[in-house]
Structure 1
Amino acid sequence: MGQFTAVDVSFPSDGGRRGGRLYRPEGSHPVPCVVMCSGFGSTMDRLYTWAEVFAAAGLAALVFDYGSFGRSDGDPRQVVDVDGQLADVRAAVACARADRGVDAHRVVLWGNSLGGAHAITVAADDPRIAAVVAQIPFNGFPRRAEGRSTAQSLRLMAAILRDALRGRLGLTPHYIPLVGEPGEIAITNAAAAKEHIRTLSGEDSLWRNQVAPRATLRMMRYHPADAAARLAVPLLVCLATDDAETPVELSSQLAERAPHGTLKLYPGTHFSFYTDPRTRQTVASDQIAFISEALGLAS
């Protein structure tokens, strides 16, 4: 595998600055770049390992934090703004294209979870994007959340509405956990919540198990499948067979609607893509092969 360097970068978006990190393979010629969009409430450091794999394969990779998360500007903190994040993705693409080491005509959008929806949505309106990879992408909420009773769902909706009202009144957010144990009020409930939190937080992590839940109201009207139907470039959708957060029956529609869509399934859950090195190795290998073919790099 090739050698690479990583440099911290920043770029303007939506009236503030967004922090990022650009991985560049060694060499003098401009190379394709994978612009990487993280998921709901996530931060760019959750994608460092993925970016390193792409860079070692000869592809530049840009990771970044959305507004109000990680190393990016924005107050109040930990607020997911879908439209603002779409603006951040477009700004990140512009940042990558402006780099002298990047081939501006061969930029690939890559997204994880909610970031997968963002990657598809932005690419549908940007004819210069060369290909899209959507990993466990959001395509609407499942009708019934696994491990959550009707009463618990009502408690969560009350928390969402409370936070939305506080946002309208200009008050501080009503935060809830991103990941919680079954029965807790959280965006995602998992039996192995403590293990997931320990893995995601880690030492010196930018990730916080806290988010303003108001964005879920906007996400109820967010339909990336409509954008997928307008994609003119190849799309790879990678899903986990036992994913309760972005289930196969919903997310597979993105590949089905895309004119040039490909679907790949892998054993595991939504969190396997974050925490299981074997899953990451297999999926990344498939994604690199897809990108190489889409960009005409395959030998």
Structure 2
Amino acid sequence: MERRIEFQSEGETVVGTLYRPDGREGPLPTVIGAGGWCYTKEIVLPHVARFTGQHDVQFLAFDYRGFGESGGKRRQHIDPWAQIQDYRNAVTFAERLDEVDENALGAFGISYSGGHVLILAAIEPRLKSFVSVVPVVDGYASLKRDHGEVDFRLLENELLEDLRERFDGGGGTKAMSSLTPHEDRPTWPFPQAYEVFKVLKEQEAPLHEHWSTTESTQHLLSYSVFSFLPRIVERDVMMIVVSGDNITHVDLEIDAFNRIPSPNKSLKVLPVGGHMSLYSDRRDTNLAATHAAEWYRSTLSARSQHA
């Protein structure tokens, strides 16, 4: 069963979908999830919800402010801390619903939001169980590798020029990805990402827009989860990564995982076709969703007073 929900986040209306297993009554363990760079709630999240529902765990997916169906005067602007605050406001909304067991709340994130989930594990005590899929763990390190030394220097110059323009009331936009990254210098210079998200927009996520403010990329270069990881002590954390990932970089992700001191953590390295196959190949999406659902079953269901 799907139900449209709305809640307020910092004065703006956030829109989401609550996926509840059919035929269940009373409060259930609940996972709160949002997407990555320029995603809307229709990308990946409904497929994860389908698998969590098989274990009587409901899923609340939402659009960040400025994206999809949610409000927000500044569209397509990605401020990671604003997005993390949207997660926390979603928690406050969820814990007040009669159909939600507030003692059994979890979070899901993929790519950029995979990093957000690790930060939430450090700062949000109401959440107990976390799944982070192919997370961005260090924006600067990732983009420097992704663009290469020469293009990265040019990207930095573009961001500096945009900073000057914003001082005068301007500021530009940047493509998420493109077919000609050396010419366009999108945030993520991978033609495959452009092709995959083009199909997703046509088939699943019509409100997806493949661009952001240029300032968003500047925020990304200051983004890192590493200072938060030592604080993840009494949390249940699963990280799902992809062997050979050249977008968010599996070695950086595994380094982050190894720095989490919590004894109840799990790492899954999927032997699939790459970062983008989690979006383009439903078998790979389902494999990641299966691991996530089983993790929530084993961690959240045990906490639920209504199981």
Common fold: TM-score over 0.5: yes
Q: Of 28, 38, 41, which aligns to 2:38?
A: 41
**Structure 2, gaps ≥5 residues long:** none
State the 4+ residue runs in structure 1 displaced beyond 6 angstroms: none
Distance (whole Å) between structure 2 residues aligned to residue 145 and residue 255 of structure 1: 20
Question: Which runs of structure 2 are paired with 1:73-112 in the superposition (5 Å)?
Answer: 73-112=71-110
Q: Which moved more, 1:87-96 or 1:267-276?
A: 267-276
**Structure 1, gaps ≥5 residues long:** none
The TM-score with structure 1 as length reference comes to: 0.90
Percent pairwise identity: 25
1:204-260 Cα distance to aligned partner (Å, 9 max, x none): 511111111312333333321222221121110101112122101111123211123
Distance (whole Å) between structure 2 residues aligned to residue 193 and residue 233 of structure 1: 32
Question: Contact between 2:106 and 2:300, CA under 8 Å: does it hold in 1?
Answer: no
The residue type paired with residue 231 of structure 2 is: R
Number of positions where the alignment pairs a residue of Structure 1 with one of Structure 2: 293
State yes or no: 1:10 paired with 2:6: yes
- Residue number in structure 2 paired with 1:210: 211
More helix by share: 2
Q: Which moved more, 1:288-297 or 1:174-183?
A: 288-297
Distance (whole Å) between structure 1 residues aligned to residue 206 and residue 220 of structure 2: 26
Distance (whole Å) between structure 2 residues aligned to residue 75 and residue 53 of structure 1: 34
State yes or no: 1:61 paired with 2:59: yes
Question: Which runs of structure 2 are paired with 1:207-286 in the superposition (5 Å)?
Answer: 207-231=208-232, 232-260=234-262, 261-267=265-271, 268-286=273-291
1:86-107 Cα distance to aligned partner (Å, 9 max, x none): 1101011112211111111100
Q: Which moved more, 1:264-273 or 1:106-115?
A: 264-273
The TM-score with structure 2 as length reference comes to: 0.88
The residue type paired with residue 236 of structure 1 is: M
Distance (whole Å) between structure 2 residues aligned to residue 163 and residue 51 of structure 1: 39
Partner SS for 2:17? strand
Higher relative contact order (CA 8 A, sep 6+): 2
Measured at CA, do residues 156 and 221 of structure 1 come closer, stay the same or move farther in structure 2, by a change above 3 Å? closer
Question: Contact between 1:225 and 1:253, CA under 8 Å: does it hold in 2?
Answer: no
Distance (whole Å) between structure 2 residues aligned to residue 87 and residue 244 of structure 1: 29
Partner SS for 1:246? coil
Root-mean-square deviation (CA), in Å? Answer: 2.1
Measured at CA, do residues 170 and 11 of structure 1 come closer, stay the same or move farther in structure 2, by a change above 3 Å? farther
Question: Contact between 1:179 and 1:190, CA under 8 Å: does it hold in 2?
Answer: yes
